[in-house]
Chains A and B, each alone.
Chain A
Amino acid sequence: MKVKKMLAFAASLAVCTAMFAGCGSSGSGDTTAPKSEDTGNTADAGEAKTDAGSGDLIKVGIINNDPNESGYRTANDKDLKATFTKENGFDASFAYSLKNDEQISHAQKFIQDDVDYLLLSAADTAGWDSVLKDAQDAGVKVILFDRTIDADPSLYEASIVSDMAKEGQTAVDWLKSQNLDKYEVIHIQGVMGSAAQKGRSGALTDTANAEGWTIVTEQTAEWNAEKAQQIVQSVIDSGKSFNVIYAENDDMAKGAVAALDKANISHGVGKDVIVMGFDCNKWALEELKAQNWNYDGQCNPFQSSYIKDIIDKLENGETISEKTIVMDEKGFDAATITQEDVDNYGI
């Protein structure tokens, strides 16, 4: 019995030392752990080497939202996976979550794993300061894509974004140009606090205030078609009149339209209710082409070429002149959309 216990103790001690040694060498380059004499074991030497052995591949940790969240995210994830491959010289790890705190713990893990670049599409704009400081201390370069965050710009190298406020403004300007007799808008919002929601809501709220538009109801459906359906259903049931549905993504617009169909309210070009969506899913653009919807704003999911560009520049020692890079984005009108647009811009 005693022998067994001693053996177990010695083994665990060896493991502990090996762990400390691993940490030390990757961090500040300390000398070997002081306890290694006690066990007379040289296991730590082997451990320490693995850190240096990652070769020429650039180690990238990518934190994204769940690819099943929407067609946008699926296209985005596909695009990233196609770019950050071994063939292109990247060793990429992916982590997905729709929750900010889970994303932060993923980020901490990536920093511990010693990635070269941390690519981040944050679920929420707040709460990232401390973990990004940790990244900076560990020499991990952070590139934001798709979503901005409320943190000091010195904490990241670049931010590749869709300008959500501009997307919203383009959409609202289009709506204004329709010169309706009255504007009674049902506003279906995305997850509150997300950059897409803030930008797209902001544009509508500002213009509605300035132009005296009526907001019949303003509710978050959290990007969820079912919830959007219930919200619109509730407005119909209470007998309020409305003539515009401004949904902050395509799924929610679809849910809203399902409720309209149930209640025999016509929608689309030249009909009672104007339907607006965002993200340019292929099926949504087809609805547009069939004149069932009126407007769809693009949200460009293909950021990986922009990101790769920046990584290449940084690897070559160049500096990034412009921290925030805004991608080109369009808005489609059902009256002018062509099959070509559907094929090229549908995701």
Chain B
Amino acid sequence: MPSNALKPPKNSKMPGIFRHQIMIPIAALVLLALFNLIADPSFFKITMGQTSNGDPVLTGQLITIIDYGSEVAILALGMTLVTASSGGQDISVGAACAIAGSVLLRVLCGTETSPEKLHAPIIVGFLVSMLVAMIFGAFNGALVAFFKIQPMVATLILFTAGRSIAAWVNHNQLPNVNEPSFGYFGSYIPGIPIPTPFCIALLCFLVTFLILKFTTLGLYVQSVGINEKTSRLNGLNPEMIKLMTYVFLGICVAVTGFIKVSRLSTINYSVVAKDIEMDAILAVALGGNALSGGKFSMSSSILGAYVIQFLTTTLYKFDVKSDALPAYKAVVVIILVIMSAPAVREKLSQLGKKLRAEKHTAESA
């Protein structure tokens, strides 16, 4: 993984792992886990239960976290690459999820709102929705790569129009899928006690990991993100690489849209995957990745996504009003942004040096 590139200089006294950016989400995770352990240890209880169809499943808060956190984690994969290559974020992923989900239902249900039989196999529907999501990703990517529009502004177009497009795809109907096997992807496959979204997420992680391991994509993305001109001088094509990251995000969007639609076997265009773009961006930031592009660590982003869900689930457990959740996330963002600001970092490192120097003089005296 490209995270190797992020190891600190050798002269540092601290062991490498502690200076690695993955420490940020791990620290947040440990903090949350400690809080729950003290407040109510039953938070960590996992029991074997059954669904109403009699299939064995694992239940518990931790299972809920890996279940609901998976959508954001999948999006975080694409968002990390987009951030690294273009130095900006795609804010249209929520709307794009709605489009992908809508296309999926359009293929499966045809024009009926509640068909007795599916019009096409689920996999066909998924592939079509993936194609559409990739096209929309390419649209965003083209605006960013070839027209040099700021990513947030470029994706604002789809952010605004996406949900209307999603509604238009299904002629404003809200189709319902009656086929039980369609619901497996958002809950449990009979016989497998682990939530399917998490299994899908694991598969996505594996594929991404292999891509980054066995191709040069990761390296190229970072080099384009760090300096576009030198990358070009070294024979890379920055435009194509940026475009590729946006198309990759499109694939992630299609998978997320599929899970979202499967959870309830229906769709609601105005609220499906609402505000998920903010969570995905937060996951990238929480992973310690620079939002201005360049180097990235994929595993940190993934962990960041689950930390967000950990926070959400914890707040739900303690009956915090759900409309107050964004405020708590905002606090996390503020802390992260301040901590990563160059001015603060400089101050901190100066403080560290000063302390060390004082210690040194005290020892020598």
Contacts and interface: CB of A to CB of B under 8 A. Distances in A.
A174 to B, nearest CB: 25
Contacts of A237: 59-61, 64, 317
Interface stretch (B50-58, B299-307, B348-356): B50-58
Contacts of B316: 219, 230-231, 234
A255 interface: yes
Interface in A185-201: 192
Contact of A220 (B268, B270, B321): B321
A253 B269 CA distance: 17
Contacts of A264: 49-52, 54
A206 interface: no
Query: 7 closest A-B pairs (Cβ-Cβ)?
Result: A234-B316, A68-B269, A224-B271, A68-B270, A264-B50, A68-B167, A237-B61
Interface residues of B, number: 40
B263 A66 contact: no
Given A221-B322, A233-B64, 9 more contacts: A68-B163, A68-B167, A219-B322, A222-B271, A226-B263, A234-B313, A238-B42, A258-B264, A263-B49
A225 B271 CA distance: 8
B322 A74 contact: no
B363 interface: no
A208 interface: no
Contact of A254 (B264, B271, B317): B264
Contact of B268 (A192, A224, A265): A224
Contact of B274 (A219, A224, A261, A283): A224
B237 interface: no
B270 A69 contact: yes
Contact of B64 (A71, A224, A234, A261): A234
Contacts of B312: 230
A258 B265 CA distance: 10
A223 B271 CA distance: 8
Q: Name the prevailing secondary structure of the B interface residues.
A: mixed
Contacts of B319: 217, 219
A236 interface: yes
Given A66-B270, A74-B172, A226-B272, A262 B57 contact: yes
Contacts of B64: 230, 233-234, 237
B260 interface: yes
A231 to B, nearest CB: 6
Interface in B144-176: 163-164, 166-167, 172, 174, 176
18 contacts: A67-B172, A68-B164, A71-B174, A74-B172, A217-B319, A226-B271, A227-B322, A230-B64, A230-B312, A237-B60, A239-B42, A254-B264, A258-B187, A262-B59, A262-B187, A264-B50, A264-B51, A264-B54
A280 to B, nearest CB: 14
Contact of B317 (A69, A221, A238, A258): A238
A98 B270 contact: yes
Contacts of B60: 237
Given A230-B316, A234-B313, A264-B49, A220 B172 contact: no
Given A217-B319, A254-B264, A258-B264, A283 B61 contact: no
Contacts of A233: 64, 68
B323 A222 contact: yes
A296 interface: no
A146 interface: no
Contact of B52 (A230, A251, A261): A261
A226 B260 contact: yes
A260 B187 CA distance: 12
A2 B270 CA distance: 54
B182 interface: no
A145 B56 CA distance: 49
B172 A192 contact: no
Nearest to A69: B270
Contact of B321 (A70, A219, A225): A219
A221 B271 CA distance: 11
Contacts of A224: 268, 271, 274
B227 interface: no
A258 B263 contact: yes
A73 B208 CA distance: 41
A229 B114 contact: no
A343 to B, nearest CB: 14
A303 B339 CA distance: 54
A264 to B, nearest CB: 4
Contact of A261 (B42, B51, B59, B270): B51
B176 A283 contact: yes
Nearest to B63: A237
B193 to A, nearest CB: 12
Interface in A315-333: none
A239 B41 CA distance: 13
A237 B313 CA distance: 10
